[in-house]
Structure 1
Amino acid sequence: MPALLATLLGPHHVVGFINNNFNRFLGGQVRPGQTAQAAAPVLAQQGLLDILDEVYRSEQPASGHEQLVLLPAHSGGPAQEYYFDFVCRPLHDDHHQIQGILVFAVDVTDRVRARHRISDLDAELHRQDELLRQMLESLPQMTSIIGPQGNMEYASPQWFTYTGQTLDDLPQAWQSAIHPADVASSSTLFEQAQATRQGYSQEIRLRSRHGQYRWHLNRMVPAFNNEGHIHRWYGISTDIHEQRLLAEELRRSEEQFRFLAETIPAIVWTARPDGQIEYLNSRWPDFTGVPVEKTLQEGWATLIHHEEVEDSLAQYQYSMQTGENLNMESRLLDVRTGRYRWYLHRAQALRTPDNTIVRWFGTTTDIDDYKRVQQRLEERNAELTRTNQDLDYFVYTASHDLKQPINNMAGIFQELVRTASFHDPDAAKLVSMFEKALHQIYGTIHDLSELVQVQKLRHEVPLELVDLSSLTQEVLISIAEPLELLQAEVTTDFSAVPALPFVRPNLQSVLYNLLSNALKYASPNRRPQVHLSTLLEEGQPVLLVQDNGLGIDLARYGSEMFQMFRRFHDHVPGSGMGLYLVNRIIQSHGGRISVESRIGEGTTFRLYLPLLDEAGMPRQNLDFKLVFF
């Protein structure tokens, strides 16, 4: 440790001697004979020379401990700090008169700076300890320090707030709070961790101050001493009660989903947001013969029929990329039989509140039987269409080809009647019978032509909302002559359903036939009365035509009511096509007819038409409705 030594003489402290260390400290320019003021003005500025004056005056020694001395820096920076332990002793001559002062100083700068650094480190450590304490006490978790034997040495305030324990309970605080059912497993884990010298975590139940147990995730980490032995454990306990209950609920939901998925008679699957299949129920191998594990690893594309594989994969990828619901059909191979069956694939995405896809849930349903039935129905419909076309052509041809010879026959007969003389008394009767038969042939040909026309109108003319009042008036005008002849009374009430969606000419034909029949088969004993009305039965429109005519014996003729050429009264002419035509028209529009009749009292026809939507048009009526999970 460098020492500074100098002797100063007289009251002005003239330098008598100065060693090299002292001289270098003062800049190296000090010479004997200089006063202390001239040799070390920097010390004078800091008041250090006043100590010399006091020693010289009092002739008493003076000392200093870790005296700060500031020297200006050569580069103009901040002053440099030095610390010295020093002693100033008076020097006496032989007569005990003071003649000067001996100055001895030791540079202790390194020691002071080292102590300052230690002090700063202690302060920083204290600050860090305080920050750590504040952080631990601010966390929502409970922190603790456990001794090697399992006794608690420290617990954060959160522990005491939650458990209601006090510092007196600290040594056995852990054992007192843990649920009895978790004690054994917790002790076992702690012993295993002691043996393996590794941390661990465990979900346990801890009792609150209110006596309720809540689930916590407890994590323990060991701390080692210099000898490498565990001398304490640091623990943190996080309340996971709600998460635990939610996890249990999710587990139950998962079990219910898997139970449902395994009991549904269809293939149920889930996929990641990118479309990667991650779950298939046991129906998959039942239908395809391929193990679930193999399909999850290799995919299902190889099972798709080669005619649909490209389009099916494109549709699948499109849904996975856009998030649109999947709805496609394809054939899948059963590797056990080598046969393909049709399946309907449907999937919908499960999304978060921000519309992010979490998972896809899908079903693959065997629709092979349905497709085969559909194919047979299409073939049957095509066959029926051809049959109807052939029938229409036959009826048209028959009516067209028959008209000409009948017209010729009628012309010849009229000419014969006009020019020939008949002397047979029964001739007039025979002529009348022939004319009647001729009119019947004309009526039959007309009815057949009208039947063909009705079929064409149903498929070629669009539906429209037909106002029933105006249409009824048109029909009444067309039958004005028999109405006037019979003095019939026709009343209407269409307030419940003023208009119906129908092919207008077809509905006109329905009303014409029913009104004509009501007049044709009117009772001769009373004035004919016909009432037309509408009503709604559970949202279904019903058109009623009621008369007070002869009535029909339903017990006898009910099953033959709508057969072609069937008649129930012979006292008036007719072809037996009217009711058949009415029934065909109503059925072609998706409706049905019921009849109520009493002999001698009258008949009521109820025409039930399809349900209406909000726009007053018939709802869609599907032939098949499949429900898929």
Structure 2
Amino acid sequence: MLPALLAVASSFPDAVPADAFLPALLELSVSGVVCYAPLTDATGQIVDFAFAYLNPAAQRVLGLPAQPATTYREVFPEPPPFAAFAFHCEAYSSAEPRHFELNYQGPDHDTYCRVNGRRLGQHLLVSFSFSQEQDRNAVEQALRQSQAHARAARAQAEAQRAELTTIFEQAPAAIAIFEGPDHVIKLANRDHLALWGKTAADVLDKPLFEALPEFRRIGYEELLMGVMQTGEPYVAKQMSANLTRDGQRAPVYFDFVYQPWRNMHGVVTGVIVVATEITQQVVARQQAVALQAEALAVAERRAQERETFYQVFEQTPASIVLLRGPEHRVEYHNEAYQQLFPGRRMRGRTIAEIQPDAAQQGFLALLDRVYQTGETFVGRELPLAINQPDGQRRETYFNFTYQPYRENGQVTGISVFAYDVTEQVLTRQAREAQQHKFYTLFEQAPTGICILAGPELVFEFVNPSYQLLLPERELLGRPVFEALPEIEHTAVAAMLRGVYATGHTHEEQAMLVPLARPADGALEDRYFTFIYQARRDDLGRIDGILAFVFEVTAQQQAIAAVRESEARFRIMADAAPNQVWAVNPDSSIRYANQAFLDFVGVENLEQYAATGWSAYLPAEELHLAQRTLADAIRTRSMYALEHRMRRHDGEYRWLLAQGAPSFYPNGELYGYVGSAIDITALKQANEQLTRTNRDLDNFVYAASHDLKQPVNNLALLLQELRRGVTFADPAEEQLLMPMVQEALQQLSNTIDELAALGQAQQMSHAPAEQVSLAELTAEVVGTLEPQVQAARARITTDFAARPALSFARANLRTILLNLLGNALKYADPARPARIHVSVQMVQGRCVLTVEDNGLGFDAQKYGAELFQLFRRLHTHAPGSGVGLYLVKRIVEASGGSVEVESQPGEGATFRIRLGTT
């Protein structure tokens, strides 16, 4: 075991066995021999010695085995200045032997002892012996004095320990000490026992997880072991555990610090726990971390007695400072407090010196009051402006306690315990600002909005729109069922309680809620659409309900009136002989009368709705019918369409369907209501008439072509007669010949216009092309230039709305030529003619307008005759009455229409609504 000693023995003569010599020597020696192995800390400094070997003599004297599992300082504790231990360290560090003398007191000895030691390799070899013959008076006297000092020191230490325990008991924090790897509870003050819900007898001198099995397997074993192994403190925030208190198991929340507990040699032997229960703060939804202790107990001014407590303070996240005297001089401060004032010297200085502006901010006055009255002051979220080293001024918010402490019944100082809650304050201020912004928006909202707080659903917020729903009722600050007692036992109350209990949003549409009238208290039926949504706090717990309420009583009354009206309408519609129908805004069928159902051969509306139009309209007409109805609904315009529909016997009949939009009183579209009549006979008659007109047009065109040549021949014959025939009476010649000439000219003009009419009919189906209105109008005006000059006319145009039209050019030219020609022909000779040609877009269709300031006519009286063939209203100007008839035929052939407005002496306005543009 000691190779170095065996090496020494090997230098003996061969006659002496080396491996037997040393064990025999050690066994026979009357002196005690001990071999030690040094124990060092992280810096390499010796802190103790382990026993590697004791010879029999040493075993007898010390009462230890040959290789005990203990250390020198555990076997030989001594008071300062630790002379014996210092000797062992010196002997190990020296290359020479060292000697030491002491008085040894043991179970069987109280005698003088000589000790010799020297280093042997990595071990220390020590030999000691006892002597009764030495003059020990001086030494013994010194040793006994030392022992007396040691006993006094131990007594003082015990007193300090007892006093420290008293301080722990009075401290405003839960404090406990766990010892050893099993974390045996050696100390737990009253607050810590209360936190656990245990008595001292329940837990003291028991392993933590045996006394409190609730803490097992939720992470605390690892935290404690980490502090024991690393020697590093652990600070925890808002930890929880399910603890049994007063027979009930409930979660308990707390902040705590695990501080390593070291023995006098610096070895971690346990853990100090300083904890603060914060269950009430968490449950009460406080936004900031509450003070973990309301006040620090007053401690006596004894540095040695409070050193351990100060170590705990150093690891506490709170800022702690102890002030002494009326000038508030810093006696102690922890690192957290120092960090508030970086670079400033603290200890021994007054608060006024450390914080020159503390007086201006009011803190010195508070300290003075606490010192003078002895009353504790608790401040919450008070701002403190602190000048930083870089010259910046930072405002910090604190929750703090000024707690006076006393000596001999007199206040001698103040303990300050403060928490930095700046982040919580700024967060709350930002949240309050955001909340104010929301409340401002809610105040301006046209929707009724209120907030019901707490399980009693108290009106916390009511915007003006909500108050208008319940005039003359006081709402704010009152529970909802106190302010509205008539709803307490209704479905509304169940909905509110359900939302608060489950957090599920609830929505209702047009719900009947009887409410009392303020005037007489009688219940009246009112309808509301509303949304109830749960409000949650920062921890996600429901703490209220946000309600959005719309009153729809008027709409419901209107709907009821519409339904009543609709019922009467259906009765009348079912009695009508023609088809009557109604559709929804999405074009789905709402109603069809009995005549409609009989026409298609179904028994009820559901059978028809199963297929709709698609089963009864020809496939090639279905899309046009659907698009026409959709366009009418989109533009809220009249609906009109001629289409075929299959009758119950399979025959397709022509129907004229017309409908108009119907609206609720609030302007919302109710749908379209219309009717359809069978126009098959009319359609067939029109087709026959169209064929007849076509035949007539062909005949007129052929007849005009055939008559043209005979009229030309008569004109030539008349010329020959005038050259070769002499009348007996010259006066008769002057009278008859012009009359015949004029008659032939009128006949020729009539034949030309009939030919043009026939030609126009032939060209009614000419292909459309893009025609520039400005160019075409200029061309027509050029053709009519003589008439323009004669009427002193000024012709203006405005084609900005549609510069070009898609139309048959020749037909459009004929329209303009006739309208402008008539405007010039019937101009008022008393004033220059003014003609304006323009284009507008009306409901998606192009309207060509020609306005003049001519003679005009009574349109109310003659408007229907104006477009008849050969009809003329003014006879003072030449004409055949064919031009306007021709215009009307061209326009109607393209799907358009012609309108005229006029008064005698005020000119005329012609509007051509073109079907194709």
Taking structure 1 as the reference length, the TM-score comes to: 0.42
| Bigger relative contact order (CA 8 A; separation at least 6) | 1
